[in-house]
Structure 1
Amino acid sequence: MRKIVYYTMKLSTESEIVGTWPQLDVPKNYFKVVNNFEILQFREFPSVEPNLDNFILKRAAKLTDLLSSYLPATSIGVFVNQKFKDLIADFYVKNFRFYNCSIITADKDFIKKLAENPYFFLHLIYVNEIVDFSLSVFKDLKTSEIITGNNENQLPMFLSPQKLVLKETPDLFRSPFDVDLLVSQLLKKAIEEANISGVWFEEFTGNEFYIKE
Structure 2
Amino acid sequence: MRKVVYYSLRLSTESEIVGTWPQLDVPQKYFKIPNNFEILSSRSFPEKSPNLENFIFKRGAKLTDLLSSYLPDLDIGVFINQKFRDIMSNFYVRNFQLYNCSLIAADRDFTKKLAENPYFFLHLIHVNEIVDFSKSVFKDLKTGEMISVDNKEQRSPFLRPVKLFLKEAPDLFRSPFNIALLVSESLKKAMEEANITGVWFEEFNGNEFYTEE
TM-score by length of 2: 0.98
Are residues 1:14 and 2:45 paired?
no
**Counterpart Cα distance in 2 of 1:133 and 1:27:** 43
Q: CA deviation at 1:30?
A: 1.4
Once the two structures are superposed, residues 60-119 of structure 1 have per-residue CA deviations (whole angstroms, 9 ceiling, x without a partner) of: 100000000120011110000000001110000000000011111111000000010000
1:130-149 correspondence runs (5 A): 130-149=130-149
Q: CA deviation at 1:158?
A: 3.1
**Counterpart Cα distance in 2 of 1:154 and 1:95:** 22
Q: CA deviation at 1:147?
A: 2.0
Q: Which residue of 2 aligns with 1:57?
A: 57
1:67-106 correspondence runs (5 A): 67-106=67-106
| Structure 2, gaps ≥5 residues long | none
Instruction: Provide the secondary structure at the position in 2 that maps to 1:134.
Output: helix
Instruction: Provide the secondary structure at the position in 1 that maps to 2:16.
Output: helix
Once the two structures are superposed, residues 118-145 of structure 1 have per-residue CA deviations (whole angstroms, 9 ceiling, x without a partner) of: 0000000011110010000112234433
Q: How many residues align?
A: 213
Are residues 1:201 and 2:201 paired?
yes
**Counterpart Cα distance in 2 of 1:148 and 1:205:** 20
Q: CA deviation at 1:27?
A: 1.3
Are residues 1:5 and 2:5 paired?
yes
Q: Which residue of 2 aligns with 1:156?
A: 156
RMSD between superposed Cα atoms in Å? 0.9
**Counterpart Cα distance in 1 of 2:60 and 2:52:** 21
Q: Aligned AA for 1:169? A: A
Q: Aligned AA for 2:52? A: L
**Counterpart Cα distance in 1 of 2:104 and 2:208:** 41
Q: Aligned AA for 1:33? A: I
Q: CA deviation at 1:59?
A: 1.0
**Counterpart Cα distance in 2 of 1:120 and 1:173:** 17
Are residues 1:182 and 2:164 paired?
no
Q: CA deviation at 1:146?
A: 2.1
Are residues 1:124 and 2:124 paired?
yes
Q: Which residue of 1 aligns with 2:166?
A: 166
Identity %: 72
Are residues 1:115 and 2:115 paired?
yes
Instruction: Provide the secondary structure at the position in 1 that maps to 2:133.
Output: coil
Q: Aligned AA for 1:147? A: I
